[in-house]
Structure 1
């Protein structure tokens, strides 16, 4: 709620609607800063993008397409969820998968918060890599729900 409140405060200061009667320079300033506020809000709102941003502030980046050494159990879990998703024939089966993924992401979010609080950035990086896998599954679920 703090994030949303701060976002709304900042948008009241810089939103282009409030600059329609101002100079061209002020309009451009407003558009640029409104976009920055929107991007910041989107980044901080989602646990995965927020965690990646916090790691970046520590000088740690996870390049796209990077895989990591993880225990085989995790990879098997991902493969099993993907198989269930591919085989899901009913809305109930899809909802069960979605519920499992949501619970796992909640668990990861709690773990990532603890890792950052403890300053354990390597642990945070490991959790974020796992969150990326589950985020990909979430995207597949969204795609399967939306009509073509």
Structure 2
């Protein structure tokens, strides 16, 4: 439970098997109307008007988890995410609106681009975790070593040196397997930290994940050279 004492406008947050975000679970009662027929928009977020079937403009600041209809959790169902992505793009793709008004074409392009961004952000654990921290008001600056101690950085240096000196695909694959195991371990720890609301711990673990994800990409590049 959120340790802050509840006040009149405070929402209690209970951590069970998934994180709760006030950003993604807004209790706002603001009602939107269709730009075309002025009828109320009932879906959240609204992609189309249920009355006149016209595409709607993106709702500014909508949480990616809401857009993709996913539980707000670090270990989300990526299969469900992919299905939702395909479903939305089939209906929102700009090609479907080539004969529509200029405004509808613009809105379909904006919605389609937003869906792409939401999907790509939530698909991979690292970008998903960083996004979840941003929703909670935390940000990891690119290129910083915040949260990475000297022992950890020395370990990474040794891994990178071993990768540089790998002369066979077998050697590179061994480093790749070890890195995947480390990323899987970090995923479990990050999920546990976010579920408990331990954001600083999650941030430190995500910094480590950034480094290991970088090594994973280097392994792929190294293997491509052997082909």
**Shared fold (TM-score, shorter chain, > 0.5):** yes
TM-score, length of structure 2 as denominator length: 0.61
> Out of 32, 38, 54, which is 2:116 matched to?
38
- Superposition TM-score, scaled by structure 1 size: 0.92
- 1:70-119 Cα offsets, whole Å, 9 max, x none, are 44432232122111101100000010011111111111111111111111
Q: How many residues align?
A: 148
Give distance in 2, aligned partners of 1:71 and 1:63.
16
Q: Structure 2: 5+ residue runs without aligned partners?
A: 1-78
- Greater fraction of residues in helix: 1
Counterparts of 1:137-148 in structure 2 under 5 Å? 137-147=215-225
Q: For structure 1, which runs of at least 5 residues remain unmatched after alignment?
A: none
The separation in 2 between residues aligned to 1:124 and 1:69, in whole angstroms, is 10
Larger-gyration structure (1/2):
2
Paired with 2:178 and 2:96, the residues of 1 have a C-alpha distance of 44
Q: What's the C-alpha RMSD, in Å, of the aligned pairs?
A: 1.7
Runs of 4+ in 1 over 3 A off after TM superposition: 69-73
